[in-house]
Amino acid sequence: MIELIDFFKKINTEVFLCGGLVRDFYMDTKGKLDIIKMPKEYFEDKDLDICSSVRPDDLIKHCKKYNIKHFYTENGKNHGTISICLDENIYEHTSFRKDISTDGRNAVVEFSDSLEDDAKRRDFTMNSLYINLFNGEIIDPNKGIWDINNKIIRFVGNTKDRILEDSLRIMRFFRFSITKNFGYTNRDLELIRGLSFLLTRVSEERIIKEMEKMLFDKNIIISTTSKKFKDLLVCFDDERILKKFPICCVINTMFKCKFYHPHHIRNNVLDHSLDILNRTKHFLKSNNDKFYQDNKTQLYMMYCALFHDFLKPANISWNPEKNHHQFIKHDSLDYITNIIPLRVLENMKISTKLKNLIKYTIQFHMRYWSVDIQDKKSIFKFCLKMRDKGMTEEDFRIIYPVIVSEAKHSSSIVEQRKKSKIIIEEFFKINKIFKETSLSDFLSESQLKNKKYFTRFVIAKNTIVKMKYIYNKVINGRDVKSILKG
C-alpha cells in the first residue's frame, strides 16, 4: 500500500480503508496489528475499498498528472467511484458522500468533506469502520467495534430508514448474521419481517448473488435447525417474493415438503439437500485437485448439491403398504407429472451450463448407485446414457462428488470415489471411440454409395449399428468391422 499512501500524500488528502476489509481485519486481529505491514497474501481475493474527501473529477486529474492508471464508468463516477491501480492492486475509491434521496434501489448522492456523513449512510455498524492509512488509526463513528466484540449485527441509525434506502440490506442482514454468527434484536427482526416484501424491488441477480455468498460459504454449515436460517425462510414465505424469485420459490418449496422415510434422518427435503451441500463443501475443502479449486466449478457443484432433489416435492406420495413416503421417478425429467418445478428452474437467472448440470445431477444421482463396477456392460450402459443426455467427462467430474455425498459413511464415500474414477476413465474411452468412428467403419463402400439403401436403412439403423460396433470394441476389446459389414 506504499504507492497508494505516497500518491495521496502528494495530493495532500487523507485516505481511508473502508468496508468489509476493515471489518474482517479487526475481527482477525482485534486491531493489534498494523494493516500496512500485513503480508500481500492477506489481501488476496479481498475487495480493496478506499475513500477520501477528494471529488471524482479531481481524482481523475490527479491520476493523469502523476500517470496513475485508472478507470471508471459514467454511472460509477456520478456516484463517486473511481478505480485506481497501484501496488499491483486495484483500489476502488469512493468520495465521501451522503444520500439526498433513494427509491430502495438507486440513490441520488451529494459529495461531502465529512467522514461522519459517509459513515451515516453505511448499512451496519460493523461495516462502518475506517482505517486512516496515514497513521493506521481505526475510526469507529457508529460503535461498530462494540457490536463486533459482542457479536451483534445492528443497523446504522434507524433500521426502517436503512431498509427503505436499499431493500437488499434485508438479505445482507441475514447473510452476515449466518456467516459471521452474529445475533440480532427481536425488534430488528420484526421490522424486517414487516418490510420483507420490499425485496421485490431488487433485481433477481442481486438476490442470487447474496444467496450464493450465504449458502455456499465453505466455512459454515447450513441447516434449517439454525434459528437465523429459519427466520430468513419465514421472510421468504411471501407470495410476492416467491413469484418474482425462482431461487426463493425452490428453497421454500423444499423446506415445506415434509416426509417420513426410514432411510433418511431428515424430515424435509431442504434439510436433506443442505446435508449434501455441507458434505460437498467438505470435499472441496479437503481436495487438492486443481480441477476442484476453480471458483466456477465449486459454484456449479454447490448448486447441484442444493438442487439435486428439488423435484421431490412434485413427486411425493404415501405408500400405505410400507408406511412411509415415496418419491417415484423424482430423478426423471421425462416422467415428472408436475412441470412447474422445471419451469422454475428454466426461469432462474443462472447460466445454461449450470441448469444442465443441475438436470444431470437430478437424472443420475439415483441411477449411479445401480452401476456394478465389476460389470463392464453395466458401466457401458451408464456411460452411454450420460452421453445420450449430452454429458461430457468434465460434467461428470463436477457432479460425481455431489452424488457420492449421499453415501451414509465416510468409508463408503471413499469407495464410491474410486468407482467414479473408473467410470470417468471408461466414459473418456467411449467418447474417444465415438469421435474416431465414422460410417465407413461399419458400412461397405457400396452401401455408402447406394442412396436408396442409405436413406431407407442407414439413417434408421446407424445408431444401433454404431452402438453395436462401439459396444464390442469396449466390452470385448476387439475390432468387429468385418462382422458388421458382412
Beta strands in 328-415 (DSSP E): none
pLDDT value at residue 120: 93
**Mean residue pLDDT across the chain:** 87
Query: Tell me, what DSSP letter sits at residue 102?
Result: E
> Average pLDDT, stretch 426-443?
72
Q: Is the pLDDT of residue 473 over 90?
A: no
pLDDT value at residue 463: 53
Q: Which grid coordinates belong to 315?
A: 413427486
Q: Work out the angle between the directed axes of helices 393-404 and 410-436 (0-180°, nearest 10).
A: 160
pLDDT value at residue 482: 44
Q: Which grid coordinates belong to 188?
A: 430488528
Task: Write down how long the chain is.
Answer: 486
pLDDT value at residue 410: 66
Amino acid present at 369: W
Contact assessment for residue 468 and residue 385, using Cβ atoms and an 8 Å cutoff: no
Backbone angles phi, psi at 99, to 5 degrees: -80, 135
CATH classification (class only), 1-151: alpha beta
> Average pLDDT, stretch 36-49?
88
Q: What is the pLDDT of residues 64-99, one digit of tens each?
A: 999 999 999 998 899 899 999 998 899 999 999 988
Confidence grade of residue 440 (pLDDT, cut at 50, 70, 90): low
Q: Work out the angle between the directed axes of helices 246-256 and 204-215 (0-180°, nearest 10).
A: 50
45 vs 323, higher pLDDT: 323
Q: Which grid coordinates belong to 172?
A: 445482507
Burial class (CB in 10 A: 0-12, 13-18, 19+), 193: middle
Amino acid present at 403: I
CA atoms of 142 and 127, how far apart (whole Å)? 9
The helix (run of H) or strand (run of E) holding residue 337 is none
Strand partners, 94: 51, 81
CA atoms of 121 and 98, how far apart (whole Å)? 6
425 vs 479, higher pLDDT: 425
* Half-sphere exposure at residue 115, Cβ-oriented, CA atoms within 13 angstroms: 19
Backbone angles phi, psi at 11, to 5 degrees: -95, 10
Give CA angle at 214 (96, 201), nearest 5°: 60
Q: What is the pLDDT of residues 278-325, one digit of tens each?
A: 999 999 999 889 999 999 999 999 999 999 998 898 888 999 998 999
Strand partners, 50: 17, 93
Contact assessment for residue 406 and residue 283, using Cβ atoms and an 8 Å cutoff: no
DSSP string, 221-238: ---TTSHHHHHHHHHH--
pLDDT value at residue 27: 94
Q: What is the pLDDT of residues 361-418, one digit of tens each?
A: 999 999 999 999 888 888 888 988 898 888 999 999 999 999 999 886 666 888 888 8
Percentage with pLDDT > 70 across the chain: 87
Where are the CATH 3.30.460.10 domain residues in the chain? 1-151
| pTM for the predicted model, two decimal places | 0.86
Q: Is the pLDDT of residue 421 over 70?
A: yes
Closest-CA residue to 25 (of 4, 9, 47):
47
296 vs 38, higher pLDDT: 296
Q: Is the pLDDT of residue 485 over 50?
A: no
pLDDT value at residue 483: 39
CA dihedral 325, 329, 335, 338 (to 10 degrees): 40
